[in-house]
Structure 1
């Protein structure tokens, strides 16, 4: 099994939730939240993480509308992700992030943690959900490829 190191990003106007995965590509975990001040500040923080974790790929959540279309925010996120991909010299893949912040809030409620006082934690958890969904889809695709290659 090849080692996998990816960062999941929940990109917002004010904050970016960051998640990472274990080397096997099975489990995503929220790492930290970046309070955005400038593009260069985000690049500098993520560059350090990329080096420390030997990151190979960025997985960015795209905020599609509930109807499944790419609205203004999805287009802005794509533009930001492409610039970040170039600045960090890493490929980027996208995951539908609809309802991930809601799911993250529900997890906090279950732990009796106030979502309104923990916005950064919501962003980290949402990033972990985005990355976990990507890891799960990737694993399903790999299983499907192996199954299709088996002789019948």
Structure 2
């Protein structure tokens, strides 16, 4: 079964999925945020479409391990997604956090090395960060 990863930001959510064997992560899409309930609905549709058995959410922490202002927003997003999944008979699918420290920096570096223009990097950096988050998770299990 596949895993799905989310890089949750204030403006966009980067999404990546694993291959069916759970070995590699591929970028899927970038969701433009419209509201937490609608965002969760879109993610639940992707979970169903790709038949995912786990959701991995990148958790942004400071380098010393303490929470950032974004951390609480991500906790709230996870709570909302869990509640919506429970009410939609998807509550059996676990939602786990994966440390995402420096994932955006790493994504930026990869895109620069691939000679992606600054304008185009803005469009895909969240998706690339989700790929990094998911690959870290897959490598850890």
Name the TM-score, length of structure 2 as normaliser: 0.89
Q: Counterparts in 2 of 1:97-136, with a 5 A limit?
A: 97-136=100-139
1:76 correspondence with 2:73: yes
Ranges in structure 1 where 5+ consecutive residues have no aligned partner: 139-152
1:93 correspondence with 2:96: yes
2-side partners of 1:59 and 1:105: how far apart?
21
Aligned length: 135
TM-fit CA distance, 1:116: 4.5
Runs of 4+ in 1 over 3 A off after TM superposition: none
Q: Which residue of 2 aligns with 1:148?
A: none
Q: Which residue of 2 aligns with 1:143?
A: none
Name the TM-score, length of structure 1 as normaliser: 0.83
Q: Counterparts in 2 of 1:1-152, with a 5 A limit?
A: 4-88=1-85, 89=91, 90-138=93-141
CA RMSD of aligned residues (A): 1.3
TM-fit CA distance, 1:61: 0.5
Rg larger in structure: 1
